[in-house]
Structure 1
Amino acid sequence: MTAEAGLQPLAGADDHIDADDLLSLVRNYNPKTNEALIRSAFEYGREMHAGQLRHSGEPYFTHPVAVAAILTEQRLDDATIVTALLHDTIEDTRSTYSEVVERFGPEIAKLVDGVTKLTNLQLSNRESKQAENFRKLFMAMSKDLRVILVKLADRLHNMRTIRHMRSEKQRQKAQETMDIYAPLAGRMGMQWMREELEDLSFRVVNPEARSSILRRFITLQRETGDVIPKITDDIEAVLDKHGVQAQVFGRAKKPYSIWRKMQDKKLAFSRLSDIYGFRVIAETEDDCYRVLGAIHQRWKSVPGRFKDYISQPKSNGYRSIHTTVSGRDGKQVEVQIRTRQMHEVAEAGVAAHWSYRDGVRAENPFAVDPAKWLEALTERFENAEDHDEFLEHVKLEMYSDQVFCFTPKGDVVKLPRGATPIDFAYSIHTRIGHSCVGAKVDGLRVPLWTRLKNGQSVEVITAEGQSPQATWIDIATTGRAKAAIRRSLREVDRGRYIKLGRELARVAFEQVDKKASDKALDTAAKALNLESGEEVLARIGSAEMSARDVVAQLYPEIADKRDDGVIESKRAVIGLPPGARAQRAQCCQAVPGERIVGITYPGKGPVVHAIDCPALASFDEYPERWIDLHWTEGRHAAVHNVTVDVTISNENGILGRICTLIGEQNANISDLHFIDRKPDFFRLLVDLDVRDAEHLHAVMMAVEADSDVATLDRFRNLDRRP
């Protein structure tokens, strides 16, 4: 596999380097470093941590040294390196803030204190507290972003050595890293760190899935050989032919990146195409476009997979051209094209602002001002009415890439990837969003859940008297749109929410043989710091609060005992008209755990569809037929039929083994139908009875991991709709 020599961060730093080794790393990029300051911090940190041990049994001070070494890979200034060496002294030793000020100055003391305060934030607590912790995190970032750089390096080294922790602590730290620190690193433009944090967390959170990906890679390499050098040579030959000077590097994508793509696109590994990525480093911006032209002349580009972040940079300074082409043997490969300076920002992200080269602060025209970046990032959060809205803003903002769409007048509207016309409407004005009844994209009428793409022109169709629908919550992706929709629904539809909440509460209370009386609800309101029992019902009905949580608040012991009760199919869906029984639409076969909506039909009960079912497009013009539905919370009976489409090798015993795998997951096979028989492969539809989406996911993972399973997909057929 071709390595990107000199471009990737160094491999994990040696935990046992001494002061001279660390100074050597700093001098590589900053010959004018204050050696006395760093050596003094090294000796002070070692003295303060003397006698302390890590979980591995090593001296504790090896950890701060390793964190400092990681930061030298980003060529950071002396103050940041010293902060890394001292980042645990105030918290874990007899050192004090005033002593650090006296020895190392107020700048370093403030940085160390900032890292200490971040360390004390419990970012994986319950949602409401997590939201407040995010506020504190962003406040710390706003004072000096270097605090976050040290904390990210601290988390990276802890994840590299996480195997020495207790298993439950490993899972908690890995999930926190996946939820918070990895996307934060990505948002700051430090993609290499995001990928490593994700993969280290993936190793802990889902080791079976990661091992499955690696096994598939080994099998693929055994069958096709190492294709990266071959494709690299192909690209270099094309560039030589066109007289373009550039360096080409290739790599296989990280296991977590591949796993996420499999989940997002619901694809088996064998159906993934662009599992290899290539990077072309050109001399000038003009050369980047010449490289693009040469590649597109040689290979066919894949529609919808082109992004020009040079002409439309990301807010963190990222610039690059992305394209996917059908290369050697029809394999799709992703190619990123950028200049050397663009690449330095792509690797360091916002941290490029502090990078040094040859003893002076590196001048990179593409590096963003951290203060301006933070101002742009936090601007959207100021209007959040409560902690949960703020948290939703932050998470969406950190995870999102961007698309740029145009109004009919040609104004640019910047939205996160995956945004819909609903998000577009609310980004223009709340009033436009509230009155939206439809949209045209590039002149064609489209459903409101359509995912917008770069460069599209969007026209919002409005009507007087229109108000937001409850289903828009699931269609919208931006925090601004979701918050505006929720506010409107709370104001306009409070009565309907109270009615739905009363039904949800009735069912939840009956499960513990209690009644959802006004007195009980008022008591719950006091315990939850809400103004009335009616407010409790309104929040339950708007999905801001779980009815089971209210029951648990009043009757914790009973709720715990009844928690294992299985929910019967007749009680599986909540929100139905009185006396009605729901029917599951066979086109999408929604199961508990998935978002659902009901469509009414004359003379029979509502039909339950998954919110992303394509069949719903035909009802877009009939909003009066849509009703809000929810699955009853709890453990459902394994009676929900789902069809999967599986292709397996045509060899003795394989079908029996697949059936055994399904049975081992406590799923029942209700029917099995062969739809294609070939000499080497069979394709068949298998009807399974499962409890919920998580149960289905476990069954499909177990089957897909089998080496003789070529493809496995959930089967959806619009011809089977009502």
Structure 2
Amino acid sequence: MTDPTGSETTSSSLPVPVTGGVAAPAATLPARHEGGERALSCEGLIRRIQAYDPTADADLIRRAFAVAQVAHEGQARDNGDPYITHPLAVANILAGFHLDTASIVTALLHDTVEDTGVTQQQLRAQFGDTVAELVDGVTKLTRLELQSDRTKQAENFRKLVLAMSRDIRVLLVKLADRLHNMRTLHYVQRIDRRQRIARETMEIYAPLAGRIGMDKVKVELQNLSFAALEPEAMATIRARLNYLRGQGADVIEEIRRELQALCIDAGLEGVEVTGREKTPYSIWEKMQRRNVAFEQLSDIMAFRIIVPSREACYIALGAVHAAYPVIAGRFKDYISTPKANGYQSLHTGVTLRHPRNQKIEVQIRTAEMHDVAENGVASHWLYKQLPDAAAQGKTKGVVSGLRWVQDLLDILEDSSAPDEFLENTKLELYQDQVFCFTPKGQLISLPRGATPVDFAYAVHSQVGDTCVGARINGRLMPLRHELQNGDQVEIMTARGGTPSPSWERFVATGKARARIRRHVALQQREPHLESGRVALAKAFRQEGVDGSEKVLDSLLKDLRLQSVADLYVAVGNGNQSAREVVQLAYPELRRAPRAPRMVPGLSMRAPAGGALGGGLPGRRRPAAGGMALAGVGAGMAVHFAGCCHPLPGDRIVGIVSTGKGITVHTLGCQTLETFAATPERFMDLDWDYDLIARNATGHHTGRLSVVTANEPAMLATLTNIAAKHEGVMMNLRIVNRQLEFMEILADIEVRDLRHLTAIMVALRAAKGVVQVERARG
């Protein structure tokens, strides 16, 4: 296990409480360290905290350590260390950020409720309400009975957002917890588990660290995740960096001294200049973004100039720009317009003069700005300035300064499903910013690629909902126009205006997308509600049974719905069969098997007997609602996918979509890859071959891609061959025509796969036909 803290080894005897009659072990714990054996200790942690906060409650920390040590007795980490080394390491990470005693105690106890027999009530009794609520906010929600890992992740993140909106320390402890888990990730044996943790870290926790300004934590999380997700790319970049170091080991030091001399010549005193290589992940990310090889990257070195005052930042900038050619478009002033997380700095890119001709990045800031840039929220934490407020848990002032937290809460309110919330939140976290102004001069920060619609929703949700137009720098511009830094945006609204569903295609912020989706869902709800009400009334009337709201209300728990209105909507949009609702209310009426359960995979059965036409042995299931599909409840909306055009004889799978019902795909359809993250949406389907045999003239559309010679008679040839084999040519489209060849998409109405195959064989034998394949996509 990696020791992130460097706390010294000590041994002490502590008054350890007894839980369940078992005394806790000693307070000094061995922990593996890649540089040799080290030890983490409670007393070392306390000395570290008291170095920056002499008033810290050492006895409270000792009691928390003792409770955690007893609770985690017998548990071990993946590397074999006692589990208590993990909360102790997390507490040491937080001590490195100079956090308050409550945060340290929370770090020591953060896994006790989840992984041991300690209860929330016990923590509240021993450590008070603040610590108990912080631990509750950090606790992982692994006991939730959810359908998939993605849904579980989304629900966990939803709860984390709610918790950190009440107290931002929840996020700080959670980030320290994830940082230590990532530092020890290489001890996890299963590759798939390592990659899942690393991907979640890259997508959620690293951006969160960046959003609260903790750049040092963000960079480390990104590089640790990158090493787990792309080990070969990481090794290649590291090898290349090692090679470059060998070629010019003193280059960074030479440039550093050069920049230092420039600042001294400009009359600046107390200037500190540091140089570094960019991290492997930042290099790889730039390679991916620019689509270039490592050798084509010229600015893999970055230099930081720390000056005494804000004014000195601009003096240093002038000295650098006077000495070197400036790279166009690389200058950014985050001092006059800070980022949303409080980050302030001047950024510029310059080219060194001959003979180096090398591009470098230069950042200029004060020591205070640097502290904020590295440690973010932790660097100007409320508790350093207002200890009394800290004791009372008044963190509202800090949270209100983080506008993005409020944006996440708005998304939480507008997103109907956990995974939709997670998707919209990722949009909110990943951003390179542009800064725009309202007509009154208010600064609005938005992600790059944002539009006037995003701007309108950033001002206020009601402004976004009623937006009908926008003036940018005084000129009327389309709502899909991409905003640039410094634009002045005036939003025009209209009473009664509503969001357009088409906006979702071009907005860049999660808040705007969530709000638009919510409005569209509300618009569709009314017609679905009415059609569902009618369908249910008809189904109950046909069976001659009572279908009152009292009966329907008794079914809500089994159907996992909140209200009778939700049931009407589910029936109206095809997600719930009216017939199944009747049979659930009156089981004695059940005459057909219920719809099959959702399965988390693609292991489908091939049709018995292979091709159609021969005898199909074995018991066959009746068709549902006249469809040529078995296993689909009556009344459920079913569509055949236009990307693969499934036919009887194909192996098939259904995808369940809210508001659309079931879409049937062939098992090999490439579109299925886009649903890999949501396996609960897959439905086991098969063709009803009894119905197909009885209805020999059944109609299904097969799509062919045909390449032929570019001759006038070819279209007639294709149509005649299809007609000769009892196929009906429904549509013909020439998609590519050249001097000698043409490519045609042909939709042919056939009975089944065998029928289509016979037509394909006949087409391939025709003169002038070069290639015939089933069309995909």
Q: Kindly provide the CA deviation profile for residues 634-689 of structure 1, in whole angstroms up to 9, marking residues without a partner as x.
A: xxxxxxxxxxxxxxxxxxxxxxxxxxxxxxxxxxxxxxxxxxxxxxxxxxxxxxxx
- In structure 2, how many angstroms separate the alpha carbons of the residues matched to 1:39 and 1:215? 45
- Aligned residues of 2:304 and 2:364 also touching (Cα < 8 A): yes
Indicate the larger mover: 385-394 or 264-273.
385-394
Return the offset for 1:426: 6.7
Return the offset for 1:307: 1.8
2:114 paired residue number: 91
Choose from 183, 191, 196 the match for 2:220.
196
* Residue 391 (1) aligns with residue 422 (2): yes
1:478 paired residue number: 509
Return the offset for 1:36: 1.8
- In structure 2, how many angstroms separate the alpha carbons of the residues matched to 1:504 and 1:240? 73
CA distance 1:137–1:552, shift in 2 (3 Å): closer
Q: Kindly provide the CA deviation profile for residues 227-247 of structure 1, in whole angstroms up to 9, marking residues without a partner as x.
A: 221221111000000111221
SS in 1 for 2:114: helix
Indicate the larger mover: 177-186 or 141-150.
141-150
Choose from 106, 129, 147 the match for 1:106.
129
2:560 paired residue number: none
- In structure 2, how many angstroms separate the alpha carbons of the residues matched to 1:143 and 1:235? 45
Aligned-residue CA RMSD (Å): 4.8
- Aligned residues of 2:340 and 2:403 also touching (Cα < 8 A): no
- In structure 2, how many angstroms separate the alpha carbons of the residues matched to 1:81 and 1:550? 40
SS in 2 for 1:154: helix
Matches for 1:409-420 after TM superposition, within 5 Å: 412-420=443-451
CA distance 1:491–1:330, shift in 2 (3 Å): farther
The one of the two structures with greater contact order (alpha-carbon pairs below 8 A, sep at least 6) is 1
- In structure 1, how many angstroms separate the alpha carbons of the residues matched to 2:493 and 2:744? 31
* Amino acid of the structure 1 residue aligned with 2:238: L
Return the offset for 1:101: 2.6
CA radius of gyration, larger in = 2
* Residue 260 (1) aligns with residue 260 (2): no
SS in 1 for 2:48: helix
- Aligned residues of 1:355 and 1:361 also touching (Cα < 8 A): no
Q: Kindly provide the CA deviation profile for residues 517-575 of structure 1, in whole angstroms up to 9, marking residues without a partner as x.
A: xxx99xx76xx6x56649999xxxxx9997998997443689xxxxxxxx99949xxxx
* Residue 372 (1) aligns with residue 405 (2): no
Return the offset for 1:403: 1.0
Q: Kindly provide the CA deviation profile for residues 330-373 of structure 1, in whole angstroms up to 9, marking residues without a partner as x.
A: 3222222222222222222122344777997999xxx9942204
Choose from 69, 74, 82 the match for 1:51.
74
1:322 paired residue number: 347
5+ residue gaps, structure 1:
1-8, 538-542, 559-566, 572-576, 586-602, 607-691, 693-722
* Residue 37 (1) aligns with residue 60 (2): yes
* Amino acid of the structure 1 residue aligned with 2:684: Y
2:360 paired residue number: 333
- Aligned residues of 2:5 and 2:92 also touching (Cα < 8 A): no
- In structure 2, how many angstroms separate the alpha carbons of the residues matched to 1:534 and 1:19? 58
CA distance 1:78–1:417, shift in 2 (3 Å): same
- In structure 2, how many angstroms separate the alpha carbons of the residues matched to 1:45 and 1:258? 41
* Amino acid of the structure 1 residue aligned with 2:192: E
Matches for 1:193-342 after TM superposition, within 5 Å: 193-245=217-269, 246-327=271-352, 329-342=356-369
2:718 paired residue number: none
SS in 2 for 1:579: strand
Aligned positions, number: 545
Return the offset for 1:256: 0.8
CA distance 1:420–1:532, shift in 2 (3 Å): closer
CA distance 1:142–1:458, shift in 2 (3 Å): closer
Q: Kindly provide the CA deviation profile for residues 2-43 of structure 1, in whole angstroms up to 9, marking residues without a partner as x.
A: xxxxxxx96799662212221222122122222222222223
- Aligned residues of 1:30 and 1:356 also touching (Cα < 8 A): no
SS in 1 for 2:360: strand
- Aligned residues of 2:469 and 2:479 also touching (Cα < 8 A): no
- Aligned residues of 1:420 and 1:451 also touching (Cα < 8 A): yes
Q: Kindly provide the CA deviation profile for residues 293-343 of structure 1, in whole angstroms up to 9, marking residues without a partner as x.
A: 221122222222222222112222222222222235232222222222222
CA distance 1:179–1:155, shift in 2 (3 Å): same
CA distance 1:145–1:274, shift in 2 (3 Å): same
Indicate the larger mover: 256-265 or 126-135.
126-135
* Amino acid of the structure 1 residue aligned with 2:292: L
Return the offset for 1:131: 3.9
- In structure 1, how many angstroms separate the alpha carbons of the residues matched to 2:208 and 2:737? 40
- In structure 1, how many angstroms separate the alpha carbons of the residues matched to 2:457 and 2:384? 45
1:555 paired residue number: 684
2:44 paired residue number: 21
CA distance 1:551–1:112, shift in 2 (3 Å): closer
- Aligned residues of 1:29 and 1:356 also touching (Cα < 8 A): no
Matches for 1:116-195 after TM superposition, within 5 Å: 116-117=139-140, 125=148, 127=150, 130-165=153-188, 166-195=190-219
SS in 2 for 1:17: strand
- In structure 2, how many angstroms separate the alpha carbons of the residues matched to 1:432 and 1:327? 51
- In structure 1, how many angstroms separate the alpha carbons of the residues matched to 2:732 and 2:292? 40
- Aligned residues of 1:182 and 1:198 also touching (Cα < 8 A): yes
Return the offset for 1:211: 1.0
Choose from 84, 87, 98 the match for 1:75.
98
Choose from 732, 745, 759 the match for 1:579.
732
* Amino acid of the structure 2 residue aligned with 1:455: G
- In structure 1, how many angstroms separate the alpha carbons of the residues matched to 2:219 and 2:207? 9
Indicate the larger mover: 378-387 or 171-180.
378-387
CA distance 1:568–1:161, shift in 2 (3 Å): farther
- In structure 2, how many angstroms separate the alpha carbons of the residues matched to 1:483 and 1:569? 39
CA distance 1:257–1:155, shift in 2 (3 Å): same
* Amino acid of the structure 2 residue aligned with 1:22: L
Return the offset for 1:504: 6.4
- In structure 1, how many angstroms separate the alpha carbons of the residues matched to 2:172 and 2:493? 46
CA distance 1:192–1:125, shift in 2 (3 Å): farther
- In structure 1, how many angstroms separate the alpha carbons of the residues matched to 2:744 and 2:51? 73
Return the offset for 1:204: 0.7
* Amino acid of the structure 2 residue aligned with 1:381: I
SS in 2 for 1:95: coil
Choose from 505, 510, 533 the match for 2:641.
505
CA distance 1:334–1:33, shift in 2 (3 Å): same
Choose from 343, 349, 369 the match for 2:370.
343
Matches for 1:684-699 after TM superposition, within 5 Å: none
Report % sequence identity. Answer: 42
Q: Kindly provide the CA deviation profile for residues 564-588 of structure 1, in whole angstroms up to 9, marking residues without a partner as x.
A: xxx99949xxxxx953354599xxx
